[in-house]
A and B are shown apart, each in its own frame.
Chain A
Amino acid sequence: MAELLLFQLYGPLASWGEPAVGEHRPSATHPGKSQVTGLLGAALGLSRDQEEKLAALAGGYGLAVRVDAEGELLRDYHTTQVPPARRGRTFTTRAEELAVDDLYTILSQRDYRVEAAWTCALWATASAPYPLPDLAEALRRPRFTLYLGRKSCPPALPLRPELIESNTLKDAFAGYALDDRLGRLKRPERHRYFWEEPLPDGLASGFSPQEKLWVVPRRDRPGSRRRWQFATRDEHHAMA
């Protein structure tokens, strides 16, 4: 038996950023390690420059995700007017920036997931900085605003954190049903699951060899936020 903390993620828009430089900012189909770590950090009131505490948070918990509704891709065409950088010219308000006569435009394409919902499961590792019930409480009464990958994507349901004891990941997820209000979202017949290993003592994945798919590296393990570095992490996939 192992203890798991499960919670749901739904908002009309969500964006789970992938490695990106430049104009196109893609989104993965499900939240990754860095985004869930950021969410927990926000709930606990850790600021972005508290790198050591955020690293402890990333290393302190294992993550598994169930895709409750796959949703669709929304590509947002985004323009930003900015003044060229000049030495000695600083702006304190956006209105002041927009008042200069040499504005130019930066284009970007930002991807979002719409009509999608996820359930996350966390387990504590030996180095976990907070017990799971404390994390659950922090999610109920967060210190900073929470969001689904981008600040413009607030959750549209309480995360409803629940502690569940289980022998397998599969059973733990089965014990946590998505909110009824999301009945209009298109639900898959078989759900996709993602998790990282090693699983803690007393917890097996619970997926049969037929249900298990591949193991894919994903570059979402936060390294240094200041330098914007991410390391790879192996994600195990299953469909059940």
Chain B
Amino acid sequence: MERFVQLHLLTAYPPANLNRDDLGRPKTALVGGAERLRISSQSLKRAWRNSDLFQESLAGHLGTRTKRMGEEVFNRLVTSGVPKQKAHEWARKIAGVFGKLNSPSKEEQKKSDYDPYDPKWTHIGQLAHFSPEELAAIDALVQKLIETKQGPSGEDLNLLRERHSAADIALFGRMLADVPSFNTEAACQVAHAITVHKVAVEDDFYTAVDDLNKGEEDVGAGHMGETEFGAGLFYLYLCLDRELLLKNLGGDAQLAERTVEALVASTATVAPTGKQNSFASRARASYVLCEKGDAQPRSLAVAFLKPVEAGREGLLANAIKALEDERERLDRAYGDGDPNAVAMNTLTGRGSLADILAYAKGGLADG
């Protein structure tokens, strides 16, 4: 299996302010001596992993959210012949690992119909998330309790598994300062997106009329303001370490394939949410190039060190040409390129997102 998948995308955003600095201006960066618009990698990742598309393509693998895990455990123990009192105690121990349990108040305990073994006292106060692996671990533990007729030990309760199958964390990593053993190294590297051309951030001076002001005393605007924005064709680059992804997912190749699909589809179709209500600047990638291989991954940002000009062909056509030419030159100079790379080009109508998805996940199942 080829270790790295590299994605190069060109996405044109209309006037927008997708990612702002502390003054509310669109973020920028200097590249090749010219100012460019920039969208930070952090902003992109947040939009992708929080998108409906990402959630939907992974539904079923993102686990279960419930307050009632304790009740499930309690019921199973009772139906398997564990005395109610013990079943209740053990269910509380297991559910307690995942959140603070509901406890009866003093007033509640004085009520005539108070039942200390009511399953509701095994519920967690808030919804807790159970990953597929955690569900399997709980299942195994309950089975063990039924067989041994012994309560869970501290070790048994260590259900917060180090290796979890949540695709989100496998791709983008997790750092818990308190519990370093739960840390996961992100399998996906995302660069800041940068426009391929020089831009000037522009000001939109706007006024708002006070509808109830009849203009008898004061004919001025009710509000004046300024919004800064920019438009441009962005180059996005990301690199996915597929071996690390597979490792983070506990070797589950099927899940890894779905994760790759979710990632690729969201990078090509999901825009950051910043100021979308003001600008409606949603956009999809016009061009996607996907490379696979074991050679040292490199972005193709050098193709745009010289700012692309619109010229007669237009910005997109010139940017695609610059990207493809640079890739060819780099591969010729350094070798080690991917001769089978797949592209989707909306300008020529060649290739599709489905081609990119197929190529990006191809070979994953071979391990």
Contacts and interface: CB of A to CB of B under 8 A. Distances in A.
Contacts of B297: 142, 145-146, 154-155
Interface in A155-194: 155-160, 181-182, 184-186
A211 interface: no
A237 to B, nearest CB: 26
Contacts of A155: 296-299
A139 interface: yes
A113 to B, nearest CB: 11
Interface string B18-61: 00111000010111110000001110001001100011000000
Contact of A94 (B160, B168, B190, B301): B168
A159 B295 CA distance: 11
Contact of B126 (A13, A89, A115, A160): A89
A90 B192 contact: no
Interface of A: 10-13, 47-48, 72, 74, 76-78, 80, 86-96, 98, 114-115, 139-147, 151-160, 181-182, 184-186, 226
A185 B33 CA distance: 7
A88 B102 CA distance: 13
A145 B301 contact: no
Contact of B29 (A74, A141, A147): A74
Contacts of B166: 92-93
Contacts of A182: 302, 305
B240 to A, nearest CB: 8
Contacts of B96: 88
A88 B31 contact: no
A22 to B, nearest CB: 14
B300 A156 contact: yes
Interface string B321-341: 000001000100010100000
A220 B129 CA distance: 40
B215 interface: no
Given A95-B50, A95-B54, A152-B42, 19 more contacts: A13-B192, A88-B96, A90-B129, A93-B62, A94-B50, A96-B129, A139-B296, A140-B336, A152-B189, A154-B237, A154-B297, A155-B296, A156-B299, A156-B301, A157-B298, A158-B336, A160-B334, A184-B32, A184-B306
